[in-house]
Chain A
Amino acid sequence: GAVVSQHPSWVICKSGTSVKIECRSLDFQATTMFWYRQFPKQSLMLMATSNEGSKATYEQGVEKDKFLINHASLTLSTLTVTSAHPEDSSFYICSAMGSSGQSTYNEQFFGPGTRLTVL
Chain B
Amino acid sequence: AQSVTQLDSHVSVSEGTPVLLRCNYSSSYSPSLFWYVQHPNKGLQLLLKYTSAATLVKGINGFEAEFKKSETSFHLTKPSAHMSDAAEYFCVVSRKAAGNKLTFGGGTRVLVKP
Residues of A within 8 A of B (CB): 4, 6, 32, 34, 41-46, 49, 91, 93, 95, 97, 106-108, 110-113, 115
Contacts and interface: CB of A to CB of B under 8 A. Distances in A.
A30 B57 CA distance: 27
Contacts of A34: 101-102
In the A-B complex, the 3 residue pairs with the smallest Cβ-Cβ separation, listed nearest first, are: A112-B43, A110-B44, A110-B43
B90 A43 contact: yes
Given A43-B105, A106-B96, 7 more contacts: A32-B100, A34-B101, A44-B104, A46-B102, A49-B101, A95-B44, A110-B36
Contacts of B114: none
Interface residues of B, number: 20
A6 B42 CA distance: 11
Contacts of A4: 43
A113 B42 contact: yes
Contacts of A6: 43
A111 B107 contact: no
A55 to B, nearest CB: 14
Contacts of A108: 100, 102
Contacts of B90: 43-44
Contacts of A46: 101-102
